[in-house]
Amino acid sequence: MKLKPILLALTVAASLPALAQSQLTIVNFGGANGAAQKKAYIEPFEKTSGTKVTMVEYNGEQAKVKAMVEAKKVTWDVVEVESPDVNRGCDEGLFEKIDWAKVGNKADFQPAAVHECGVGVFIWSTVMAFDGDKLKTAPTTWADFWDTKKFPGKRGLRKGARYNLEFALMADGVKPADVYKVLATKDGAERAFKKLTELKPSIQWWEAGAQPPQFLVAGDVTMTTAYNGRIDAAQREGKNLKITWTGGIYDLDYWVMPKGTPNKDAAMKFIAFASSADAQAEYARNISYGPTNNKALPKLDAKVLGLLPTSEANSKDALRFNISFWADQGEALEKRFSAWAAQ
């Protein structure tokens, strides 16, 4: 008679790992992107898989991932990271390797989306933005962005060397295709900082992606650099903010799995789900970031396609962010930028 409770206890104990696997913690950058991910990826995945997902918002701090992995106390299962971090984290052994056989056919994806430690989530762009209600003549180049006589007022720039040095060189007449070739030289870096110095009295720095549209709506700046998805979100709220796509810098974010996640199988299933053509098309309908799965594109109408950084019209004069350049020279340039900005 006493065997029954023991068998029951054993049955419950045996089922605990299965219960643990039906929980997943997914970490992203929040904001408009987080809201779109919730609608296109997380809620449908919960519904179809029965997995309970906890969403966590962060600012990209890889030190937290590193601390978890090194302490062997990993509580994050899937994390969205920027392109320099997927390379660095992979090199440092912080991420699990991706089983691409479970994700899909590599040939269906943008080449840059395929990484041994990550899967490209979406393609986004840092662009020039302005308020269509306040600026009747649209700026068309980075030279216009620098021209404070023709377009008086402050300029919003992200506080950091990344992107700004590229924009400065384009403002100084360097073609997008030649930017990194020029910036890699001592004279090129000097030229970029000199051009930034011209604009310095008119710069209002931003650090969070939500700030550029706020600056524009408040009239604090005439133009600003911004993430295209943030401008799209403001447009959906009825704000007449506009984008100039010429010389925009596009890049990818990636899904990674911190090394030692206890829920690797469920994490892999989520990444595969979020990489499917249907899920990525739904995501692009909710925020104008480009799908990495090319099979998502035929599922989108012309209006949605026209808003994406990957559309032919928007990408023809764009610049791909050069991960290897910034991996090699980023630390020195960021240090120089911090000293320059503090002067």
Least confident of 3-7, 61-65, 107-111: 3-7
Q: Are residues 104 and 130 in the same domain?
A: no
Is 5 inside any structural domain? no
Whole-number percent of the chain with pLDDT over 90? 86
Residue 313 Cα distances to 112, 244, 260, 317, angstroms: 20, 11, 43, 8
Q: Are residues 64 and 82 in the same domain?
A: yes
State yes or no: pLDDT of 2 exceeds 80: no
Distance of alpha carbon 51 from the chain centroid = 25
Q: Is 114 helix (H, G, I), strand (E, B) or coil?
A: strand
Domain with 230 in it: 124-250+315-342
Q: Are residues 134 and 212 in the same domain?
A: yes
Number of structural domains in the chain: 2
Q: Which long-range contacts (CB under 8 A, 24 or more apart) does 40-44 make?
A: 40/274, 40/279, 40/280, 40/282, 40/283, 40/285, 40/286, 41/270, 41/273, 41/274, 41/279, 41/283, 44/273, 44/279, 44/282
Residue range 295-316: mean pLDDT, rounded: 92
Q: Are residues 150 and 238 in the same domain?
A: yes
CATH number of 245's domain: 3.40.190.10
Is 116 inside any structural domain? yes
CA distance 232 to 243: 9
HSE toward the beta carbon, residue 284, CA cutoff 13 A = 34
pLDDT for 204-219, tens place per residue?
999 988 999 999 999 9
pTM above 0.95, yes or no: no
pLDDT for 248-284, tens place per residue?
999 999 999 999 999 999 999 999 999 999 999 999 9
CA distance 187 to 162: 17
